[in-house]
Structure 1
Amino acid sequence: MAAPQSGLAQAGGSFDFLHGRWSVIHRKLRARLAGSRDWFEFPGTLEVEPILSGLGNVDRNVLHDPAGRYEATSLRLFDREAGRWSIYWLDARSPTTVDPPVVGGFSGRKGTFFSDDSFAGRPIRVRTTYEPLGADTAEWTQAFSADAGATWETNWVMSFHRAARS
């Protein structure tokens, strides 16, 4: 039973830094896996709350993308037996599609998560990271690899700034 207790301790604190309300600056590459260096930015908001006694959390993203405002949700769940997190993304632009989860954990304060997926009809690896940068700032990144993880292209960065408490 030691492993579940250890996992519960990890689960209970890993994403605590992300709980609450945030303003977000999204920075995305215009073209992914195409050698692009052309980035665009747009604002958004994020609200994150714990669920399942710390074994998970859920968020509500509002993204003010220039192509059109939309909402998305992430569901993060901790597997005590495996000692790792699975993170699912649901997007209002395709509400019946749940992307394959990115799976991983934290080393120190930085969380790194991976999945196999496809992009433009070809197989890719996906890597996301979460990292608190200060008491009121954090960052999430997404990168794709078309060569099984030998090289990575970061294509989306979310910079979180804690919203003023009311």
Structure 2
Amino acid sequence: MLVSCAAVAAEGSGPVRIGVIQPLTGSVAYNGQAYVKGAKLAVAQRNAQGGINGRQVQLQIEDGQCQPANSVNAAEKLIQRNKVPVLAGAFCSSATAAVMAVAEKYKIPLLSGVSSKADLTEKGMKYFFRSAETDRLMARTFSKILADDLKLKTVAYIGVNDDWGAVEWRISKRI
């Protein structure tokens, strides 16, 4: 998890609050819950080592359900009510795209470790960062392995019916 030094310094004393938006319910709740468990483990380890600059880290977690409107509401709550200086998540690319506008509005860094739609980083947002490869990069790499290394001529693909599955389907049809 990334917390900028400026965001931590601006926050003053007390715990370092990180706003987390993940799908805790809905079609990809398993993935969002796994992300939150991992984040809690990382925070527990960081806090056991003294936190950040001597301050404990505290997660403020909201369920965005991978829905743009719910994720925007979660971001607004985390920023306005919980006063978090940084956001992580949104998970699904459509939800992340919606939250990006909120992060820009409040000048709050937003880190996505999952959202992989290529054009998210092409929007020119100053406060959006990603640590995941794009769908385009994954599809090109994977298709090269399937065609060149495994010599496959036909591939069947089963995907989820959400924004990620739709992007993957369009890419795989072109390969």
Is TM > 0.5 for Structure 1 vs Structure 2?
no
TM-score, normalisation: structure 2: 0.31
Answer 1 or 2: which has greater helix percent.
2
Q: Which has the larger radius of gyration?
A: 2
Answer 1 or 2: which has greater strand percent.
1
